Amino acid sequence: MGDNALSATNTRAPQLSITDPKVCRSYLVGTCPHSLFTNTKSDLGICHRQHSEALKTQYDAADEEQKRKWGFEWDYARDMGRILDDCNRKITQAQSRLEKTPEEIKMTQSLVRIAGLCQPHE
């Protein structure tokens, strides 16, 4: 720890490499899924990875061979597929809760009538 340890000139954030695991690959390729569902029931919270405009520019400038080597687009498609599957699962569950057979409807109505008859009268 020298004299420069506390100076303001050393407060610059370290530069991350494009392949660093701390970098959000989804952000580089397209859109971070954490920003897609903000303020919804499917909100994923904040993204704990780095969103660097400089790295996004570097990714966009790379040739197709380099992009294939990195494999970020494949990871992005896989992650978005998982999110889509999760959304579809939630939709299916909600629809199944809404669907009732005629027998279930009759049973519910009869239970409501019985419950109404069993209510103590004041």
pTM: 0.63
Q: Is 38 within the bounds of a domain? A: yes
Q: Please state, in angstroms and rounded to a whole number, the distance separating the CA atoms of residues 31 and 29.
A: 7
- pLDDT > 70: what percent of the chain? 83
Give the pLDDT confidence score for residue 109 in this predicted structure: 83
Q: Is 37 within the bounds of a domain? A: yes
Q: Is 7 within the bounds of a domain? A: no
CA dist 16 → 5, 54, 55, 86 (Å):
21, 10, 8, 31
**Residue-wise pLDDT tens digits, 12-70:** 455 889 999 999 999 999 999 999 888 888 888 999 999 999 999 999 999 999 999 99
Structural domain for 108, as ranges: 15-117
pLDDT band at 121 (very low <50, low <70, confident <90, very high): low
Q: Is 10 within the bounds of a domain? A: no
Give the pLDDT confidence score for residue 82 in this predicted structure: 93
Q: Is 4 within the bounds of a domain? A: no
pLDDT band at 96 (very low <50, low <70, confident <90, very high): confident
Q: Is 65 within the bounds of a domain? A: yes
| Total of domains in the chain | 1
